[in-house]
Amino acid sequence: MTNSRCPALRVVGSGSAIATASRGQACLALLRVNAGGTVLLDAGDGTSRALAMAGITPQSIAGIVVSHLHPDHAAGLPALVQQLRLCRVAAPEPAVIWLPREAESKFADVMAFYGLSARRLDGVVRIRYFEPNRGFAIGGTLWITPLPNAHLTPGGRGPLHSSFSLLAELEEHRLFYSGDLGGPDDLHWPAPERVDLAVVDAGHLSADAAARAAFEQGAERVLLTHLEQPSPPRRAANPDLLWAHDGMEIDW
């Protein structure tokens, strides 16, 4: 998946609910996963500029997967789609955008509001909708499984939308991205229990509780995101516990 010149994962936006000068809204870039392409997990506000600052070109983006439809995870999509439309002249295939099924009746209207009709997006992006626990491939090599969590259920924050964690698998590598959590029980993934890296929301759980639950589930390393605190948690002495910041690069 990676080589000495390219990390496996780049933190484009570290998931802050409120964007600050040092923390962007949620977006992770899995790099060079599909014949040199890039797959984004979430696209919070400011994603287009953050990608440019990270040196990730629109031509390299093979896919985008949105965990849930809150603005800090999805509000950057219209601007990113426009960026793709203007800059993907040499791209061999459309970028695939995967959204929760409930977005199917809404997404075209949102794009049309910004002047991005289906005709203007033809050949630029291809829209797909995922179902809970049904995996799908991007580029034939990366396998994504959306795992429902309780962030937006009656046991979480109210029955507004669906919310998912994302399990990304490539060859022998596994990465778990929690999206936003309803509680520690959301930190689970299908067997085998081992994942190379768990990217975990520490905004809706305490940093200690999020890290502990992920390690207990079988994560080899844990990257805490959705952080508002300016300093690492007490467990940061553990070299396998990482504190996300924008621009961070990680190999799995």
Please report the pLDDT score of residue 135 as a whole number.
Answer: 97
**Claim: this prediction has a pTM higher than 0.85:** yes
Please report the pLDDT score of residue 136 as a whole number.
Answer: 96
Residue 249 lies in a domain: no
How far, CA to CA in Å, does 127 sit from each of 64, 96, 122? Answer: 10, 6, 10
CA 158 – CA 221 distance, rounded (Å):
31
Please report the pLDDT score of residue 132 as a whole number.
Answer: 94
Sheet holding 38-41, edge to edge: 125-130, 95-100, 61-65, 38-41, 27-31, 9-13, 249-250
Give the range of the structural domain holding residue 106, as residue numbers without chain letter: 9-132+140-244
CA 64 – CA 123 distance, rounded (Å):
15
Please report the pLDDT score of residue 4 as a whole number.
Answer: 39
State yes or no: pLDDT of 47 exceeds 60: yes
Max intra-chain CA distance, the chain: 53
CATH of the domain at 70: 3.60.15.10
Work out how many domains the chain is built from and give that number.
Answer: 1
Residue 252 lies in a domain: no
Residue 250 lies in a domain: no
Chain centroid, CA 142 distance in Å: 14
Please report the pLDDT score of residue 102 as a whole number.
Answer: 87
Taking only the tens place, the pLDDT of each residue in 199-241 is: 999 988 888 899 999 999 999 999 999 887 655 655 456 889 9
Residue 2 lies in a domain: no
Average pLDDT over residues 95-120: 92
State yes or no: pLDDT of 18 exceeds 50: yes
Task: Give the bridge partners for 127, in sequence order.
Answer: 97
Residue 4 lies in a domain: no
Token readout for 224 is 């805490």
Please report the pLDDT score of residue 230 as a whole number.
Answer: 56
pLDDT band for position 33 (50/70/90)?
confident
Residue 3 lies in a domain: no
